[in-house]
Structure 1
């Protein structure tokens, strides 16, 4: 009778050995990522409540902030000739993409709580495939949410970006890049924090300054000096600046390249941290 080689702790089996046969190394990484991504996307699409809540959240922010802060368009220091909805939408594009990145990390926590992660560890699946699949699924969710957000902003508020459609597409691409990259920070947190309650608390504490200590809702010049200094260090601020430039003028300057490269550098640092956290003995 053939026997499976025992696993070491709870680490995933990268190879499975049989007596008298060559070791089986499992499917290629691209196949693992494709199958696991399809699973995550399918869970989102088939769960109507989860899908509805994913779509409603950015729409609530659009209506709430679009109405509450609309008077800021008449305040001194606000960009002349720009409606508040035109100022707000680029920020919502980026923050909505970022929230989708956060939810990708939360998906890792849900898999831990449900026991799915332990089942995956017993299979010849690389930890990076699990993380990358969740991240790609979060990116797909972000694309869907941004499409719905733009459609409602156009229908309800008459949002029309000043730039050529190519500028809007570039702004969406930049928002997805920044949101996907920064989402790896939350994925790393999910891999190292075992309990879901502290994870949700930590994610909320981190999202608050990223969103509100920025120029998302008011021009940075209208912030108090100390908050203006903090916003200048916030990568979300630079991403929103570049996204606004793309939406309002279609200009692709050094700001867009800098925002993308900075975010990708953060992902390059935090993704290996997440993989080590997922692969450590439990």
Structure 2
């Protein structure tokens, strides 16, 4: 009589899938978020209209600031402005990501992910990674168009401009978790858009983006100095202008990283609570 081993029980659906690796989950989910960009490159073109319009408008409205006391010497206003727009445009992209995430939570796509063996943080981190890739493309296009159309000539040359783009991208991706956290705690896309827009206003305009902080009223200078975006703009601007900015860059990355980690923890908690 031949004895055969009993067949091994099949693992339940999803059992052991979590051990398949965070990298695999991130790759699949990030690719899904980027698919719309590949299928319709006009999304990149449309996203560039806002930053270019801001550059063209503000360079004309505030061009006289370059002659005011306290403005950096031998620096044209367009060279002063472009690094700030690099940071603020990436922040705007994070704002749009938050609105899209809220819509997906409402239409059931995220609930479907939660029925699969997918780590909760993977969905949010993949969103952030897709946003970073999209913003990197936008940064390069913005630099090229600013140089070709608006005469942007950074003192740091091409290496300084690329380093500035890298810092702007890192800072904005960290601070972008603020908007992801808002999306994870609020169910309505309209309310998310309003709250995130309200948060965007002081982050961008209560900073040194458009004028030097030293030329602002005392109370506003105090607000500027506690605004994490200020440090990102200072580092980005210093690198683009060819100034010694290593300390500023490290400070900006440390501050934005701390804010991003706190916001990410809050986002994951809200995501788990909603789904």
Taking structure 2 as the reference length, the TM-score comes to 0.91
Quick check: 1:196 aligned with 2:189? yes
Structure 2 partner of 1:55: 48
Quick check: 1:246 aligned with 2:246? no
Contact map agreement 1:98 1:182 (CA 8 A) in 2: yes
Structure 1 partner of 2:80: 87
| Structure 1 residue runs without a partner (length 5+) | 1-18
Structure 1 partner of 2:206: 213
Structure 2 residue matching 1:32: 3-state secondary structure: helix
Offset, 1:190: 0.5
Structure 2 partner of 1:237: 230
Structure 1 residue matching 2:244: 3-state secondary structure: coil
Aligned counterpart for 2:63 among listed residues 66, 70, 76: 70
Structure 2 partner of 1:109: 102
Structure 1 partner of 2:9: 20
Return the alpha-carbon distance in structure 1 between the equivalents of residues 43 and 149 of structure 2.
24
Structure 2 partner of 1:11: none
Counting matched residue pairs gives 264
Offset, 1:51: 3.3
| The 10-residue stretch of structure 1 (225-234 or 155-164) with the greater mean CA deviation from structure 2 | 155-164
Offset, 1:50: 3.3
Aligned counterpart for 1:143 among listed residues 125, 136, 139: 136
Q: Write out per-residue CA displacement over residues 112-148 of structure 1, whole angstroms, 9 at most, x where no aligned residue.
A: 1332111111111111110011000100111111111
Structure 1 partner of 2:250: 257
Structure 2 residue matching 1:160: 3-state secondary structure: coil
Return the alpha-carbon distance in structure 1 between the equivalents of residues 181 and 238 of structure 2.
31
Return the alpha-carbon distance in structure 1 between the equivalents of residues 234 and 16 of structure 2.
46
Aligned counterpart for 1:183 among listed residues 176, 181, 187: 176
